[in-house]
Amino acid sequence: MGSKDKSIVITGGGVIGSCIAYYLTSHPRYDRKSHTVTVLEASSIGGGASGKAGGVIASWAYPSCLAPLSYRLHCELADKHGGIQKWGFRHVYCADVDAMGEAVGHAATTQDYAHFHSHIFSSRSNKQFPPELDWITPDKITSYTELGRPENTAQVHPHLFTNSIADAAIENSARFITGYATSLNQINNGGQIKSVSYEAKQTNELNEINATDVVIAAGPWTKNLLP
Ligand SMILES: Cc1cc2nc3c(=O)[nH]c(=O)nc-3n(C[C@H](O)[C@H](O)[C@H](O)COP(=O)(O)OP(=O)(O)OC[C@H]3O[C@@H](n4cnc5c(N)ncnc54)[C@H](O)[C@@H]3O)c2cc1C
Ligand SMILES: *[C@@H]1O[C@H](CO)[C@@H](O)[C@H](O)[C@H]1NC(C)=O
C-alpha cells in the first residue's frame, strides 16, 4: 500500500469482493485513518453465485497453484471467526458417483431411467459406500469413487460464509454500499483511475466515489465494467 492515502473501491460483493475487502482491511499496513476500502454491490452480499454455490473447498481442487492456499485460508478463517457456528464449516468426504436415476411422477419403466453423475458430500466416515447414501436406492449406484477425505475436503454454507466475511470486513472499517457501478472514470482518460460512478439501489440516485484503485470483482458481469 505504500505510504500514500488509498481509496480502494471493489465492485462486486460476491465471495471474491468480500474476501478482498476483508484481507485488505486485515493487512498490517492497512491504516484506517488514511485508507478506505469500499465495496459496491448491485443487489445484496452473496446475491449471485457466491450465495448459491455448493460451497465445497478442497486442497486437491483446481487450479493447483491456488486450491491448497484457498483451503488453508478457509481453515484459518473458520478457526479465527467461529466458522463452524457462523457458516457451517465442516470437513466432509467427497465422491464421484454414477447412478441410475428414475423420473419422478411417472410409472417407472426402463425408459424412464436416466443416467446421472453427481458429487456426493457426506459428513461421516465410510470409504466404499457411505451409509448417508441411503437416499439413493443402493442397487442403482453403478460406481462410487472417493475424491476427497475430511483431511483435505470441507464445505461451507456459501451465503453465510460470504456475509460473515463481509461483516468481518465491516468490523475492520470497510464500507459496503448497495449500488450498481456504471463507469470507471479515469484522469483525462489516461488510464489512471479517478472515481467510480454508481446508481444507488434505494434511490436510483447517481453518485461518484473517488478512488485511487479499483478492484473489479463483478463475476460474470465484469465485462460490463471492463469490456
Ligand atoms: C451451482 C453452482 C455451484 C458451485 N459450487 C461451487 C463449489 O462447490 N465450490 C467452489 O469453490 N465454487 C463453486 N461454484 C463457483 C463459485 O460460486 C464462484 O466461483 C464464485 O461464487 C464467484 O464469486 P465472485 O465473487 O467472483 O462472483 P459473484 O458471486 O457472481 O459476485 C459478483 C457480484 O457482483 C455484483 N455486480 C455485478 N455487476 C455489478 C456492478 N456493475 N456494480 C456493483 N456490483 C455488481 C453482483 O450483484 C454479484 O453479487 C459454484 C457455482 C455455481 C453456480
Ligand atoms: C473527490 O475528488 C475531487 C477532485 O480531486 C475533490 O474535489 C472532491 O472533494 C473529492 N470528494 C470527496 C468526497 O473526497
Expressed as residue numbers, the domain containing 10 is 6-53+159-224
DSSP states of 44-84: -TT-SHHHHS--EEETTSS-TTTHHHHHHHHHHHHHHHTHH
Q: Is residue 27 domain-resident?
A: yes
The DSSP secondary structure of 167-199, one letter per residue, reads HHHHHTT-EEEEEEEEEEEEGGGSS-EEEEEEE
- Say how many Å lie between the CA of residue 57 and the centre of ligand 1: 15
Would you state the pLDDT for residue 115? Answer: 42
Distance 2 CA to ligand 1 centre (A): 30
Would you say the CB of residue 83 lies under 6 angstroms from ligand 1?
A: no
Same domain, 86 and 37: no
Question: Residue 142: its pLDDT value, please?
Answer: 82
Residue 93 CA to residue 208 CA, distance in Å, equals 47
Q: Chunked in runs of 10, what are the mean pLDDT values of the chain (227 residues)?
A: 84 98 96 96 98 96 96 98 98 85 59 47 49 74 85 97 98 98 92 95 95 97 92
- The domain tally of the chain equals 3
Task: Decide which of 108, 142, 176 is a domain's last residue.
Answer: 142
CB 32 within 8 A of CB 173: yes
10 part of a folded domain: yes
φ, ψ of residue 167 to 5 degrees: the values are: -60, -40
pLDDT at 126: 38
Q: Is residue 1 part of a domain?
A: no
Are residues 164 and 196 located together in one domain of the fold? yes
Cell numbers given for 151:
483431511
The answer to whether residues 15 and 42 belong to one domain is: yes
- Tell me, what's the pLDDT at 136? 75
Query: What pLDDT, on a 0 to 100 scale, did the predictor assign at position 1?
Result: 55
For the CA of 212, the nearest ligand: 2
- Given a contact cutoff of 8 angstroms between Cβ atoms, the answer to whether 110 and 103 are in contact is no
Is residue 116 classed as helix, strand or coil in its secondary structure? strand
For atom 31 of ligand 1, the residue with the nearest CA is 14
> What's the one-letter identity of residue 72?
R
Which CATH number goes with the domain that contains 13? 3.50.50.60
Report yes or no on 134 lying in a domain.
yes
pLDDT at 60: 96
Reported pTM? 0.89
Same domain, 210 and 164: yes
Query: Does the beta carbon of 195 lie inside 6 Å of ligand 1?
Result: no
> How many CB atoms sit inside 10 A of residue 191's CB?
7
- Ligand 1, pocket-test mutation among 11, 20, 45, 50, most atoms within 8 A of CB: 50
Residues 6+ apart with CB under 8 A from 59: 67, 68, 71, 72, 152, 153
> Does some domain include residue 168?
yes
Pocket test for ligand 1, best of 18, 22, 40, 41 (most atoms within 8 A of CB): 41
Closest CA to 166 of 9, 3, 41, 29: 41
